[in-house]
């Protein structure tokens, strides 16, 4: 900003005005008094203005980014595009090979998944048979009368046999008594008998002149497993 310097020197014709710090002041020259000049009013002191130069404040990072925002964005976009093209040229083959290997891995995983599901489905059928067998055997040990429907259905399949022999495990005492009363009814014409035998608690066999039908729970479960296995081999 301008620097204002005030001096107490009066300006007369031919006098020079000096800046105080330029050099030491010299005494004024002696002059003849001038009557006309003396009569004039003394001039007021004049002000000397000296400009002082100062360097502008340096630009900050934010100032530069604001002033050259468009140029910087253009440079960034150009650098990104250039880097992308260089990477595509340099690593294009590697990326394609990597994608191919990923596809192969995904295919292998899908094949393994399908194989697992197929195997699980096969195992699940056998597992279901095992669970059902255990549950029925447990129920028989608690109350053998639950086999009543199974035994009655087996007996009813016999078409007018000349004789019938029902063999039940001696452990199923309640069921044995029930079937004795059932087969003593007139519709069986006294041709059916019930025999307790020493056998596992789920044993049930019905014999006629045409052969023997086994309704034993464990045997039926085994037959079902065999059917599943044969179906798998057929596939």
145-155 pLDDT tens trace? 888 888 999 89
State residue 103's pLDDT score. Answer: 92
Q: Please state the pTM of the whole predicted model.
A: 0.47
User: What does the alpha-carbon distance between residue 173 and residue 145 come to, in Å, rounded to a whole number?
Assistant: 9
User: Which is higher by pLDDT, 153 or 30?
Assistant: 153
227 shares its domain with 148: yes
Asked whether residue 114 is assigned to any structural domain, the reply reads yes
DSSP per-residue codes, the chain:
-EEEEE--PPP-TT-----TTTSPPPPPPP----HHHHHSPPPPPPEEEEE---PPPPPPHHHHHHHTHHHHHHHHHHHHHHHHHHHHHHHHHHHHHHHHHHHHHHHHHHHHHHHHHHHHHHHHHHHHHHHHHHHHHHHHHH-GGGGHHHHHHHHHTS-S-S-EEEEEETT-HHHHHHHHHHHTSGGGTT-EEEEEESS-TT-EEEEETTEEEE--HHHHHHHHHHHHHHHHHH-
Domain boundary among 142, 159, 191: 142
Instruction: Tell me what pLDDT residue 34 has.
Output: 52
Pairing of strands 164-169, 192-197: parallel
Give one word for 33, left, alpha or beta, with left for phi > 0 and alpha for psi -120 to 50.
beta
Q: The tokens 């800046």 sit on which residue?
A: 19
**Cβ pair 146, 175 in contact under 8 A:** no
Residue 39, pLDDT above cutoff 90: no
Q: Is the pLDDT of residue 94 over 50?
A: yes
Q: What is the mean pLDDT of the chain?
A: 79
Q: Which of 211, 217, 199 is nearest to 150 (CA)?
A: 217
Instruction: Enter the tokens of residue 213.
Output: 């039908």
In the structure encoding, which two tokens stand for residue 176, read together? 């044995």
* Residue 215 within any structural domain of the chain: yes
Q: For residue 107, is pLDDT > 70? A: yes
Is the pLDDT reported for residue 35 higher than 60?
A: no
Residue 196: inside a domain, yes or no? yes
Residue 39 belongs to some domain of the structure: no
Which one is predicted more confidently, 235 or 83? 83
Domain that holds residue 118: 61-142
Q: Looking at residue 49, what is its pLDDT?
A: 57
Q: What is d(CA 114, CA 72) in angstroms, rounded to the nearest whole number?
A: 54
Q: Is 53 a member of any domain?
A: no
Q: 122: buried, middle or exposed (CB in 10 Å: 19+, 13-18, 0-12)?
A: middle
What are 110-145's pLDDT values in tens digits?
A: 999 888 888 887 788 888 889 988 988 888 888 888
Mark whether 115 and 87 lie in a shared domain.
Answer: yes
Instruction: State whether 121 and 164 are in the same domain.
Output: no
Q: Which residue has the higher pLDDT, 151 or 95?
A: 151
**220: exposed, middle or buried (Cβ count in 10 Å: 0-12, 13-18, 19+):** middle
């Amino acid at each position: 900003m301008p620097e204002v310097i005030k001096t107490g020197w009066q300006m007369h014709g031919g006098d020079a005005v000096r800046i105080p710090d330029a050099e030491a002041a010299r005494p004024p020259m002696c002059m003849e008094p001038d009557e006309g000049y003396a009569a004039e009013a003394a001039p007021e002191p004049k002000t000397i203005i000296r400009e002082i130069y100062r360097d502008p404040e340096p630009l900050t990072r934010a100032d530069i980014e604001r002033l050259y925002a468009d140029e910087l964005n253009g440079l960034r976009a150009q650098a990104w595009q250039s880097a992308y093209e260089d990477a595509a040229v340099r690593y294009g083959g590697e990326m394609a090979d990597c994608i191919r290997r990923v596809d192969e891995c995904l295919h292998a995983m899908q094949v393994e998944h399908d194989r697992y599901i197929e195997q699980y489905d096969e195992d699940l059928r056998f597992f279901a048979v095992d669970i059902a067998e255990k549950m029925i055997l447990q129920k028989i040990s608690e109350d053998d009368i639950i086999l009543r429907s199974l035994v009655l259905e087996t007996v009813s399949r016999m078409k007018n046999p000349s004789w019938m022999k029902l063999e039940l495990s001696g452990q199923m005492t309640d069921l044995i008594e029930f079937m004795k009363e059932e087969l003593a009814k007139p519709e069986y014409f006294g041709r059916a008998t019930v025999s307790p035998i020493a056998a596992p608690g789920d044993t049930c066999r019905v014999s006629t002149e045409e052969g023997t039908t086994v309704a034993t729970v464990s045997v039926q479960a085994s037959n079902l497993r065999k059917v599943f296995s044969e179906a798998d081999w057929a596939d």
